[in-house]
Amino acid sequence: MPFVARSEELRALADLTIAAADGRGGALLVTGEAGMGKSALVEAAIGGLDGWLVLSAGGTEFERDLPYAALHQLCMSVIAHRSGLPEVQRQALESVFGLGGAMTPNPLTIGLAVLGLLHELARLQPVCCVVDDIQWIDSGTRQVLGFVARRVANERIAVVLAGRNPPPELGFTDPPHLLLAGLSDADARSLLRSTARADLDDEVLERILAEAGGNPLALLEFDYGTGPLGLPAVGARASVVDALQDRFAHRVQLLPSATRLLVVLAAAEPVGDLGLLRRAAHLLELNPAELTAAEDDGLIDLGPRLRFRHPLVRSGAYHSATPATRRSVHAALADATDPEIDPDRRAWHRAHAVVDTDEEVAAELVRSAGRAQRRGGLAAASAFLERAAELTPDPGRQAGRMLAAARARLHSGAPAQARELLAQAERRPMAPADRADARLQGALIDFHIARSAEATAALVDAAADLQPDQARETYLEAFSSAMFVDRMPGGLRQLGARIREQAPRREQPRPVDLLLDALLAQVLLPVEAAVPLMRRAVAAFRTAADPWWMELACLMALDLGDDESAALISTRQVESARAQGAFTVLSQALRCHAIARTVLGRFEEAAASLEEAHAIEEAAGTVNLAFAELILAGWRGDADRVRELRDMMRGRVGRVEVVAELCAIAVLHNGFGDYTAALEAALAAQEQERRGSYMVWNVDQELVEAAARAGRPEEAVPALARLEALARTGRTAWAVATHLVAQALLDPTAASTDSRYREAIALLAQSDARVYYGRARLTYGEWLRREGRRAEARAELQAAHQTLTAIGATAFAERAARELMATGQRPHRDGTNPRDLLTDQERLIAVKVAAGATSKEVAAMLFLSPRTIDTHLRNIYRKLGISSRRRLRELPL
């Protein structure tokens, strides 16, 4: 069609490629109904890209269930360039492309690997990725394309996606979008007159224009060989697209019988592999040369690969055939496909070739599902398993395969489809083990959808029928999630008591078993009885290799006042999850690491961990509760940020979040010296614990200080008792020091007050709890001033001010400054730290690069391209007045 009518759209595509060639890449989404000229427009735009590497792929209706099928089309020709990628990314690509790889990659790792591969290619020449018919590409490729398209802004990469409707998996946020509408009446007339037969009179022309509705393909097709009026036999079909498909089907039916069967064969083979088509044709005793009749009729193009003139030609040809004919061509294609090279496509063709159940074909599909799962294609695995179940003759085995399909659907993020499959499975006879699995699956589906009290109770019920190890892991899942999300009648104590009664014992407990026992003990037993179990669980996780559940062990270490174990476990979890590419765990690990670093007084490290967690969550399209940010903001004394985060979390927080929020508020107000407000928040947290919530131990510290300063020491008696029991049984320097400070605060006139403060400060100096060390010196200095020991008070307050300022605990530092000025001395203030000039993301990049990380390594951490990291580095250098990585390492970041 002439492109005078699409000049603005062509200009948009040209602008995209011009910017990309200059290192300002981007993506463009071209949509419109079938026949609007999307493919022709894109081909015209990329036809003039001299000096570019153009990678292209197209979705087909018959390949949308094959894992990463479109990604294979797009990248297989350049996969050799993977050698320059980080090992995890290289292994991910090798797994997806069937080239080995010892890992089961997740979508984020694959997306990052493809982005890295394109970056390597773009270093040599600009790259344009063109993917047509995105409505039919497999879900794994859709996720990868969405990931890549959002991250090429600083690359020499252009991404052009065309299709009828943009799939939600692309995850775009307001993308540049070209919607191709029908041609205007004038442009439609121009197109039709330029191509129509000479004998078309005005009346026929008007009727064609009316029928086509501005659809360019319809205008051309309705004029083609349509009888005396030049009109399609639309009949009762209202859609132009449906009419076009009917028209193409009719044209296929007019072909010679052998050619017609060959076209149906080609329609069932989505890649257009002429070698495969020849082998299949010979099996059907057909001569492939007879395809030339279809080419002469304008339905297909024969080149290196067979191409249909339009996807509607393919679908019209395929659906015009009888079911028996479709089965015969699929059987021929299956027999012609090498089972060693392409076993999954062969299995898929065999599945479409059978009439009745067939265990041999079903077993082949199950093996394909296993391969898809190992490549990270959970949706494809489920599709294979669903078809396998349909073909399974034995009802019991059929139910088991449906359960496996439901599990894969749930893990791929499709709980509604998982529920449908589960319902089908439950209508079939099941073995007891499958029945227990079905009950668990139903509970997990409800749990993932709602995370309600009812869903948690159902999960606990389902665990009772499982094998001991699986049962204990399910109980841990239910209980830990109830800690963080659920609001169950009777609180955690009732749930914990029920689990403790039901959970089977294990003679040789694993770390997860010890963790479950310790968590239950925390809510069911007195402190002195719970602490030994907690210490045993924490010790087990110090050497655990699996990153799962380590965040709970880290929080438990903080509850014990075991700063060394908290730092070790949180760091090990981050490193392990990052090395394994376990990004779901990594996001949680980074947030836990941030909490640990905050409580230990390493605020910049905490902020860096949260920034990395945000990058993962943005890449994955997930939303996490912001209580780690809230705790950091409270300790920083950032009242505006605390207020903003509380508003954001309102209405969607659970048990730990409520207590953590109240603790953050107590810390904030203690920092500002508003002790009454701090006490009210801490008492509210204590009330949550009384009602059955999980208690964050450092709430007791805030409660004691607030009660002492507000003149209400009697309010702190229960908290002091818990701190005493923890110090006595836990025996960590941090816990003992905390109890000593609490005693000194609540009994300031005692003869031992001075020695308590001194002993606490000495113990905290040996620990990593820097912020508590600074606060202990602050409260000691305040006590000394009130005792009239001004010189000693100045020394303590000045030290407290320096420590708290360096940490970034602004409110507490200002409190120390006010106390210091009350002694007649002004605090020493350092100059501006250069890091204050940077954004959180820039600070994180600067810290990682200063530590020796390459741009590729930092890009992998933050799910960005290496060129984007280099752009950030240039901004960092400009702000800091430096010009090299060496100078960056010399700055105090």
Q: pLDDT tens digit string along 150-164?
A: 889 899 999 999 998
Q: Specify whether the CB–CB gap between 421 and 395 falls below 8 A.
A: no
pLDDT at 235: 42
pLDDT at 522 over 70: yes
pLDDT at 864: 85
pLDDT at 198 over 70: no
pLDDT at 631: 93
pLDDT at 539: 96
**pLDDT tens digits, residue range 291-318?**
999 999 999 999 888 999 888 999 999 9
Helix or strand holding residue 636 (H, E): helix 627-636
Choice among 165-174, 695-704, 871-880 with the minimum mean pLDDT: 165-174
pLDDT at 239 over 80: no
Q: Of residues 371 and 359, which shows the higher confidence score?
A: 359
Instruction: Give the Cα separation of 600 and 593 in Å (integer).
Output: 10
pLDDT at 233: 45
State which amino acid sits at residue 523: V
pLDDT at 60: 84
Q: Please, which residues bridge with residue 162 across strands?
A: 30
Instruction: Give the Cα separation of 108 and 662 in Å (integer).
Output: 35
% the chain with pLDDT above 70: 91
What is the DSSP secondary-structure string of 509-555?
--HHHHHHHHHHHHHHS-HHHHHHHHHHHHHHHHS----TTHHHHHH
pLDDT at 413 over 80: no
The residue-averaged pLDDT of 162-177 equals: 68
Contacts with 186 (C-beta within 8 Å, 6 or more apart), sequence order: none
Average pLDDT for the chain = 87
pLDDT at 175: 61
3-state secondary structure of 190: helix
Instruction: Give the Cα separation of 4 and 13 in Å (integer).
Output: 15
Rg (CA), the chain: 33
Q: Is 302 left (phi over 0), alpha (psi -120 to 50) or beta?
A: beta
Residue ranges with strand state E in 137-190 = 157-163, 177-179
CB atoms inside a 10 Å sphere around CB 460: 22
Nearest to 703 by CA among 695, 713, 694: 713
Instruction: Give the Cα separation of 595 and 172 in Å (integer).
Output: 31
pLDDT at 835: 67
pLDDT at 21: 92
pLDDT at 793 over 90: yes
pLDDT at 98: 82
Angle at CA of residue 587, ends 808 and 853, nearest 5°: 70
**pLDDT tens digits, residue range 423-432?**
999 999 998 8
Q: Specify whether the CB–CB gap between 110 and 140 falls below 8 A.
A: yes
CA dihedral 397, 398, 403, 405 (to 10 degrees): 120
The residue-averaged pLDDT of 242-246 equals: 86
The residue-averaged pLDDT of 709-733 equals: 94
b vs e for 83-109, b when ≥16 Cβ sit within 10 Å of the residue's Cβ?
eebbebbbbbbbbbbbeebebbbbbbb
Nearest to 797 by CA among 768, 769, 826, 755: 826
Instruction: Give the Cα separation of 272 and 410 in Å (integer).
Output: 33
User: SS3 for 551-596, per residue?
Assistant: HHHHHHHHHHCCHHHHHHHHHHHHHHHHHHCCHHHHHHHHHHHHHH
Q: Are strands 53-58 and 306-308 parallel, antiparallel or unpaired?
A: unpaired
% the chain with pLDDT above 90: 51
Binned at pLDDT 50, 70 and 90, residue 229 comes out as very low
State which amino acid sits at residue 773: Y
The residue-averaged pLDDT of 141-146 equals: 89
Give whole-number Cα distances, 833 to 277, 332, 799, 806, 829, in Å. 69, 72, 19, 10, 11
Instruction: Give the Cα separation of 667 and 665 in Å (integer).
Output: 5
Give this prediction's pTM.
Answer: 0.78
pLDDT at 484: 66
Encoded tokens for 300: 């297909």
pLDDT at 489: 58
Choice among 725-739, 806-820, 822-836 with the minimum mean pLDDT: 822-836
Instruction: Give the Cα separation of 243 and 235 in Å (integer).
Output: 9
pLDDT at 833: 64
pLDDT at 411: 81
Q: Of residues 657 and 66, which shows the higher confidence score?
A: 66
**pLDDT tens digits, residue range 75-107?**
999 999 998 888 888 988 998 888 876 667 888
Instruction: Give the Cα separation of 434 and 892 in Å (integer).
Output: 59
Instruction: Give the Cα separation of 169 and 584 in Å (integer).
Output: 18
**pLDDT tens digits, residue range 440-487?**
888 888 877 766 777 788 888 888 888 899 999 999 988 887 876 646
**pLDDT tens digits, residue range 824-867?**
888 876 655 666 778 888 888 988 898 888 888 888 888 888 88
pLDDT at 1 over 60: no
pLDDT at 228: 34
